[in-house]
Each structure stands twice: as C-alpha cells, then as structure tokens.
Amino acid sequence: MYEMLTGPFFWISMLVFWIGLLVRAILYIRGLDWQLDRVAYRAHPKIGAKFALRSIGFWLLPFGTQGWKKQPYMTVAFFLFHVGAVLVPLFLIAHNIFLENKIGFSLFTMDQGVADFLTWAVILGTILLILRRIALPEVRILTTAYDYMILVISVAPFITGLIARYHIGDYHFWLMVHIFCGELLLILTPFTKLSHIILFFMSRAQLGMDYGIKRGGMKGEGMAW
C-alpha cells in the first residue's frame, strides 16, 4: 500500500494537480472576451498589469480591502486557515525530505515548531469557517453539503498529518491515511472549487484590469469609452 501511495499515486496526483491547474488557467484566459467584458485587455498591458497586481496584493493582505475590513471575523478565520494551508505543504521539512529522495529536488524548509503552529491554525481556522457558515443567515442560505465537503477534504491532510507527526496510534497506518488524503486533495483540486488556488489569481487580475483600464484607472487619458 505504501509503495502504491508513494509511487504511481504520487505521480498521478502531482500530474493531475499541476496540469489541471494550468488547463483551468488557460481556459479562464480563453473565456475572456474584451467585447463582452468591455475591457481593452490587450490595448493597455502596462496599466492592466499594474492594477492586476495591485488587486491581488490588497486581497492577500489581511484587512487590505474594504471586504476584509467589513468582515473582521471572516478575515481572521480566512488567514488562520490559508497561511498554513499554503505554506505547510510546500515548506514542511518532512515533505521536502520526501521530495529530495523522490526527485532529487527540494525547497526551502520551515522550522518544525512553526509548521506545527501553522497546522493547528489551519484546524482552528476550519472550525471558525464552519461556524460562520452555520451562524450567518446570509452565508447559511448559500451553503450546501458541497461546501462542507470541500472544507473536510481540505482539512483532512492537516488532521491526519498531525496524527502521524505526534505518533498517535499506529504511525504507519496514519501516515498512509495522510498521504491518501493529501493525494485526494491534489487530484480533486482542478475539478472542484479548490481550483480557486489558481482561479483566485485569474479573477482578481481580470477585475483589477477592469478597474484599472475601464472604471477610472485611466480617467482623463482620452479613452474612447
């Protein structure tokens, strides 16, 4: 089982994740239509890029946008969850040792204490995100079982990773459960809302360009529309 999970399944999950996200990004760009969107994307690449980066930057900054400021509970829950969700899988020592052995390549690694702390933060963030979906009527009416499923799939590698890390119960069993959950997350990402890992950047860039090029960013510069 371990050989399967760290051999063919590992490769399949990596390929599906990276190629899948690339395809989603390409399809997003191909779906843009400057005439329908009424944004001259190509005609003003410089100002477009500037406002695209600006929009992404403010959204990645806690309390950076009006939306984050108006919803402080969501901001705290979101960043508690996302800082660890993005950084731990990439920079965990154990993951990079695994990668080094597998493909002879590894990234910068973070301190084990920091990784533990961020992983607990992901779990706390998930609880806060679930409570928000239950407590706020305007979020509750939009919430379906699918939203909870995405949260469970997302947090599973963090819970099982910690169980393995603290050697609770049978280490090898929990490590295999962990790797299975991690690979499941990677494989499902391009086909579910988890594709926001790339589509967040695409849609923020698009809207940033929209604001920069059309809705005021180029005011007074002789735009035809």
Q: Which long-range contacts (CB under 8 A, 24 or more apart) does 173-178 make?
A: 175/2, 176/1, 176/2, 176/5
Rounded least distance, CB 27 to ligand HEM, Å: 18
Q: Nearest Cα to 5, choosing from 159, 160, 190, 182?
A: 182
In the bound state with ligand HEM, the residue whose beta carbon lies nearer, of 45 and 72, is 72
Contact call for residue 202 and ligand HEM (CB under 6 A): no
Rounded least distance, CB 163 to ligand HEM, Å: 9
Residue from the set 185, 187, 205, 209 that interacts with ligand HEM by CB under 6 A: 185
Contact call for residue 78 and ligand HEM (CB under 6 A): yes
Q: Cβ(183)–Cβ(89) under 8 Å?
A: no
Count, residues near ligand HEM per rule CB under 6 A: 37
- Within positions 113 to 172, which residues make up the interface with ligand HEM, using CB under 6 A? 115-116, 119, 129, 147, 150-151, 154, 157-158, 161-162, 164-165
How far apart are the C-alpha atoms of 76 and 78, rounded to whole Å? 6
Q: For the purposes of burial, counting CB atoms within 10 Å of the CB of 197, is it exposed (0-12), middle (13-18) or buried (19 or more)?
A: middle
Amino acid at 218: M
Contact call for residue 213 and ligand HEM (CB under 6 A): no
- Within positions 1 to 40, which residues make up the interface with ligand HEM, using CB under 6 A? 6, 10, 13
Q: Compute CA distances 199 → 47, 94, 146, 147, 190, whole Å.
A: 21, 28, 18, 17, 10
Binding site for ligand HEM (CB under 6 A): 6, 10, 13, 78, 82, 85-86, 88-89, 92, 94-95, 98, 115-116, 119, 129, 147, 150-151, 154, 157-158, 161-162, 164-165, 175, 178-179, 182-183, 185-186, 196-197, 200
